[in-house]
Amino acid sequence: MERLLCTIGFAGKTAEEFFALLRGAGVQQLIDVRQNRGGQLSGFAKNPDLSFFLRAIGNIEYVHEPLLAPPPELLKSYRNTKDWPTYESAFLETMKERSVPEELDSGSWASKVALLCSEPGPEKCHRRLAADLIAAHWRARGDQVEVRHLVLEGHKNGRPRRKKAAPAP
């Protein structure tokens, strides 16, 4: 089976940009891998509004998959330390303890899916790690998998590039 496994973050994007990226990739199903889906900073990506918007704007199905969310204590630790290598190692260990991807029902997912989290870019986000695990699992089963990170064109790490200030005269 041919599969497209995208990742996307909502931060740093307008609703128009976010939904255009999903539609442009042909995403059929969005898998929400966030621990907290209802935070006030989530804006248009807040649960249950996101499910409505996905259906209404792109005919995209919404699924929440808490098995792929980082434990709250791990997320809190990372926010305090910003130690990505430690976070990455601990997240992958958590996935192993949860038997992900083996215990994950990803076989029922659409052929074109996107994993959602908040971070603008995939570089330091657990959704990239989850996508790598799932893609390897699907490939081991014989699927052809393309992993694509949906970020805004012309943006570094999914964030707008800051213009350098002009030198003083």
Residue 169 lies in a domain: no
* Whether the Cβ atoms of residue 69 and residue 142 lie closer than 8 Å to each other: no
pLDDT in tens, the chain (169 residues): 999 999 999 999 999 999 999 999 999 999 999 988 766 567 888 888 999 999 999 999 999 999 999 999 999 999 999 999 999 999 999 999 999 999 998 989 999 999 999 999 999 999 999 999 999 999 999 999 999 999 998 765 544 444 444 444 4
Residue 121 lies in a domain: yes
Please give the model's pTM, rounded to 2 decimal places.
0.88
Report the CATH number that the domain containing residue 143 is assigned in CATH.
3.40.1010
Residue 161 lies in a domain: no
Residue 159 lies in a domain: no
Residue 166 lies in a domain: no
* Whether the Cβ atoms of residue 10 and residue 121 lie closer than 8 Å to each other: no
* Whether the Cβ atoms of residue 122 and residue 130 lie closer than 8 Å to each other: no
Quote the domain boundaries for residue 79.
2-152
Residue 163 lies in a domain: no
Q: What is the total count of domains within the chain?
A: 1
Residue 55 lies in a domain: yes
Question: Which residue shows structure tokens 């248009």?
Answer: 44
* Whether the Cβ atoms of residue 106 and residue 29 lie closer than 8 Å to each other: no
CA-CA distance, 134 to 132, in Å (whole number)? 6
